[in-house]
Amino acid sequence: MTKSEIILASNNLNKVREINALLCDTKYKIIPQSKFNIVEAEETGITFVENALIKARNAAQYVEYPVIADDSGIEVDALKGEPGVFSSRYAGPDATDKDNLNKLIKNIKLLDEKKCSARFICSMVFLRNADDNDPIIVEGIWNGHVITTPCGENGFGYDPIFYVPTHGCTSAELSDKQKNELSHRGQALRSLTKKLIAEEKKFDTNIP
């Protein structure tokens, strides 16, 4: 199968790996924007969708490929939705995954709650080109709760403290296959893939 390349408006190689794994049975292949020396856009939006659009439009200026961008994060109800859109920079603009994780654990420990309901959210957009005024926008939501003792070595970001009640473990303890079936990003990407295939069929009568 000849793969159609799509630029991912991110330099996060974990995201590239995860999304390509989700797309393995499709005609699409993700290429990180770092291959084109694109500087990451400043995330100034107040919603996940706004930030995803900012990142996608920034990358689309520099390439002649379609672009995918996602903005995702975790919301903890007892923290009034924090870290939310600030998930990737919760502990500061240059924070590492570990820095962000430790700050969230510290803040959760200050709460007088045995369980903190939370959710991962992913907003994903697809731009056909830099002038696309009708982007495809999809969303995935993964509900669970957060714990204060990290468990598991798989995944990245907040995965070690995101507990999945249906499986009795954290996201970081799931296999790649299990996580892709459940995750917010997996949900969003499956929705996007369906929309892309439907759009191709609309304009190409040779597609069954």
In the set 71, 77, 112, 134, the catalytic residue is: 71
To the query of whether residue 71 is one of the catalytic residues in this protein, the response is: yes
Give the DSSP letter string of 105-143: HHHHHTS--S-EEEEEEEEEEEESSTT-SS-EEEEEEEE
Query: Exposed, middle or buried, 72 (CB in 10 Å: 0-12/13-18/19+)?
Result: buried
Q: How many CA atoms lie within 13 A of 163 on its CB side?
A: 13
Query: Which letter does DSSP use for residue 155 in this model?
Result: S
Residue whose entry in the numeric block shows the structure tokens 């959210």: 121
Give the count of beta carbons closer than 10 Å to the beta carbon of residue 149. 8
* Residues annotated catalytic, as ranges: 71
